[in-house]
Structure 1
Amino acid sequence: MSSPSRFDRGHTDDLMTFLSASPTPYHAVATAAERLEKAGFRQVSETDAWEGTSGGKYVLRGGAIVAWYVPEGAAAHTPFRIVGAHTDSPNLRVKPRPDTGAHGWRQVAVEIYGGPLMNSWLDRDLGLAGRLSLRDGSTRLVNVDRPLLRVPQLAIHMDRNVTADGLKLDKQRHLQPVWGLGDSVRDGDLIAFLEDEAGLARGEVTGWDLMTHSVEPPAYLGRDRELVAGPRMDNLLSVHAGTAALAAVATSGADLPYIPVLAAFDHEETGSQSDTGADGPLLGGVLERSVFARGGSYEDRARAFAGTVCLSSDTGHAVHPNYAERHDPTHHPRVNGGPILKVNVNNRYATDGSGRAVFAAACEKADIPFQTFVSNNSMPCGTTIGPITAARHGISTVDIGVAILSMHSARELCGADDPHLLANALVAFLQP
């Protein structure tokens, strides 16, 4: 049997294309679905009865996607191999009454989503994108990918102590972007503008989920172009790698002892508690229905889940050259050093010793190095969808990712080799 070709720097080029095409979770899952369709996957509706046929299938729900490939002749109790990720990133999101302004400026009212580095959104050209809900019950994606909004910083002449005391931003007062001039606020202006952008009739939009994004495209950086700067790497880097790995495995013609799965959730940055988040029923429902569609019983479902392993792939922290003391003194992940294994004994990450062995085996098979991340004991540790997945579904889960700098900035930084190293490790995991 053939095996997938090894990913290289071309994968990183493609990652930058993926990032540009995915300013919101809704665009990210649509872009992933389009790529899976080219690999032979087909969308199934959650409201239809599912058939137990082999091949690639996927479910879209809001900003989440679950895709899986059933090998020919797979038994109902066949375990799954899951790559888990999330599609959302911290940003500024439009409020229900978006039209505001003062002192001759027209502004857009925004709410802070997740935990962004707020200063990174200042004095940056921003576009606006998201999902429009229409009067007939359908939805339409919209993406104004050009300079439209800007959050202007106060001039240093009016904040003389900013350098010595640090920048202090009030989330309500200081982060409302401007988008034009006018002495009066006209309710409905922003949505009318977006209706025009989307080619819709006035009054057709009755609901919206809209967010800002930096319009500066991703780019290689450094003397030898060994770095990549771009938006939303946390965590579209993992979504892109998981999509590429699943497509490669599904089209490889190899014998698969497991059913490979990609599960990319929304709302990780705010706790995962939604119908499209990792703490919701989406993944469990899809996996169960896959078992039952192949004629399986609850016993088959239990057997399949017991043998399942999930790699929760999310970005992590590379050692910072200016703040090395913030890291654990014996764990300094470096960019372009290969994917990282995340460990925390207080279960902020789900990795244990047996999970480490699974990931080590995948990296050994792919012939790539990997590193380990552990937080400094004096600093709080972040978390991922890993512990949620393990606890909710009783699935063995391992937390991994790629080490980056400037996490939660409007523009993050990774090594140019790490994206394809991660993708190669995921292929080896999905096709052991």
Structure 2
Amino acid sequence: MASKRVVIVGGGFAGFETARSLLKSLPEGSDTEIVLINPTDYFLYLPLLPEVAAAVIDPRRVTVSLPAALPGVRLALGSVDKVDLDGRTVTYIDPEGGAHELGYDRLVLAAGSVNKLLPIPGVAEHAHGFRGVPEALYLRDHIIRQIELAAVTDDQAERDARCTFVVVGAGYTGTEVAAQGPLFTTAVAERHPELRDQKIRWLLLDIAPKVLPELNPRLSKTADKVLRARGVEVRMGDTVEEATADGVQLKSGEVVCTRSLVWCVGVRPDPVVEGTGLATQKGRVVVEPTLVVPGHPEVFACGDAAAVPDLTRPGEVTAMTAQHASRQGKLAGRNVVASLTGGKLRKYKHHDLGFVVDLGGKQAAANPLKIPLGGFPAKVVTRGYHLAAMPGNRVRTAVDWLLDAVIGRQSVQLGLVRAPHVPLDTDNPEVPRIPELPTRR
């Protein structure tokens, strides 16, 4: 093989697995260069972020060093600014604002997704996003601060507002955040005798008719039961119509005084996709079953950024899940090598193996191989799945889980809260912008 360069945009599940697959699939002695462009120097194991926010595990457990995990892959630290399909170049901006250009022989678009915003007044300004480590740690600090500020005020209305937490979105992330929340706030409040008789409210809102609408009714009911048993106010068919610094107004007309609005409504493909000028379907690049972009045999796309035809469900595209992204990344790597060596490209076809939802404590909901489980058996399956799926830090994560069960969680502020919120309106969820604004009263 002559010297070639493969550029991968994004180091999430799809991009990480693409790079790893390329390393395994390239012929021995190949001088093909692999370049991975990513805003951070780590792969983020996103499913465990709720446990980071709830102080169950250390944030380093969900981050795996890209240079360490992918020896032989050159990391280009930055965010893609422009893709020139005709010139076969990619321009990216590094963390210090410098612009760089890379030529490519093969391009893999695996940019992933960002927070999904809705045109609701005040949400972008006052809600907390939940797509990266900085946002999870920021939320953790914010929750601790609200409990601690509630403990020192004599104003009952202010205390009630600070002890009220609203989560919007009853999908996987929102459900896990709402389930972990009461356990976390109870642990923090126990250290403040002033809050002994104070009610701490957690609300979970969604316009969907049930919690976890993606799962079968049995698993949905399991999660709903756990949430309600922990005191979470599950409000299906309701959502936020307006958000302010002091609270939210719901679709039902109720006004909830709160300083904490957690936005877990969903995700949308990274905006870099639309900037390529390629055909899209609901913001995702249209691709063939081989993950090749029609009309551009040198360009591949996978993961949340790609509308991959679901051959197990004709007429539909694969869901935006880590399960699909990982498997598509593996195939993308193999197909890129095949395209360079004249081999045959394979089509993507994968049947869902089930899903797991960690509900905190000893509770979880799972359906491995379509077998619905709840309670402790589901917890064992859920944690076993995560340990198997993580590309690193397995032992450290297991130790953190053990320590949490034996001696409890650490809950101190890390000094991240300098402003009322981490804005949601950012295209880069890994590096949220924290403005210098006065702290809320």
**Does TM, scored on the shorter chain, surpass 0.5?**
no
| Bigger RCO (CA 8 Å, 6+ sep) | 1
TM bucket (normalised to shorter chain) is under 0.3
TM-score, with structure 2 as normaliser: 0.24
TM-score, with structure 1 as normaliser: 0.24
Q: Which has the higher helix share?
A: 2
